[in-house]
Structure formats: structure tokens, C-alpha cells
Amino acid sequence: MSDVVRSLAKQLAAPMRATGIEPRGIRGVPPPPPPPPLSASLPDKPPATYEVPASAPAVPEGHVRLYRAEPVVPARADYPQWLQQARSQSGATDAAGRWYTDTPSTLGFYLADQAPHGRVFYVDLPAGQHEPFRVRNYEAKPAEVVNPRNFSRDQDTEFFIPKEWAAKRALLEP
């Protein structure tokens, strides 16, 4: 080791020792801790609220209404082949349009992501049949690529519903 490198190493090590950290070589450093869950890394946004318009249709008796925010601009269909394949393999294509919430006040957060043009959809489901799809209760099947628990912002208010149910959504007019 050259004298310059040795001198530099001593200069860098002194402040570390003063804080109680003992400098070690790369091989002596323990592995870093695992990254935090995805939900912990989401950017904090000011709380935005949303109120269901008074003109909204009534929820049918014996049903529960779930809501979702979507962009006004439709999803692209002309992605390059490699990107379509990556979206499919990651589960993004399968998961698209299946995220809902039973708490309309939280839609403001999702609408802020769609700014400046977002819209709200809803689907009415038979009461009780929706609970297995609440993210907290969701049991991913072995064949599923996406486990909603890994991507949920709030497992108590978010739902990952079957495609058949999501296809029945209706636009909530402002």
C-alpha cells in the first residue's frame, strides 16, 4: 500500500473511530438490511379527500359499493413486444383494473396520481362476497404472479377483485 493511500485511510478512519464505528474492509462489512416494504417507500402526499357526489346512484339493497380512480387517457395498447412481455410476466397486465377501495374518502390520494385528469368508477357487489378479496384477507393462489399484499397501500381498505367483477364497473359521474 502506498504512503498516500495509507495516510488517506488513517484520516478517514479517525472520525469513524470517534463515533464508535470501527472501520473494516469490504469483506468484513455485514450485509445491508433488507429494503423496507413497498408501501413504506411510497412518497408522502398531502391528504386529499374525495366526496361521493350527491347525484350518485343509490347502492342496491344487500350490496356493498367499491370505488377506484383511473386516468382519463386509456392505457396504451401499442407497447413494444418486449415491454408487453415484461408487463405480462410481472403480473401488471393481470392486475390492471382490479384495485378498489370501500372508503371513498381515500380516493383523493389516488386521484392525485391521475392529475390533472382522473375519474372515479364503482362496482356494486353482494354484501359478504367481497370480504375474501379485501387485501388483508386475500389468499394468493400458487398460479398467481401478483400477491396484492406486496403492493397494497392499505390492506384494510383496499380490495383486489376478480376480473369478472371489475368488468362490471360503472363511471361515477361528477
- pLDDT of 106 over the 80 cut: yes
pLDDT confidence of residue 83: 80
Q: Identify the pLDDT of residue 31.
A: 61
Strands 158-160 and 99-101, bridge-based pairing: antiparallel
pLDDT, the chain, mean: 78
Q: Is residue 126 within 8 Å of 114, Cβ to Cβ?
A: no
Confidence of residue 174 (pLDDT cuts 50, 70, 90): confident
112-126 per-position pLDDT tens digit: 877 667 889 999 999
Contact status, residue 119 vs residue 162, Cβ threshold 8 Å: no
Q: With 0.85 as the threshold, say if the pTM is over it.
A: no
pLDDT computed for residue 169 by the predictor: 93
Q: What pLDDT is recorded for position 170?
A: 93
Model confidence at 46: pLDDT above 50:
no
Burial class for 159, CB neighbours closer than 10 Å (0-12, 13-18, 19+): buried
| Residue boundaries of the structural domains of the chain | 38-171
pLDDT for 22 equals 56
Of 4-18, 114-128, 131-145, least confident by mean pLDDT is: 4-18
Cβ atoms of 51 and 106 closer than 8 Å: no
Q: Which of 24-28, 98-102, 146-150, 166-170 has the lowest mean pLDDT?
A: 24-28
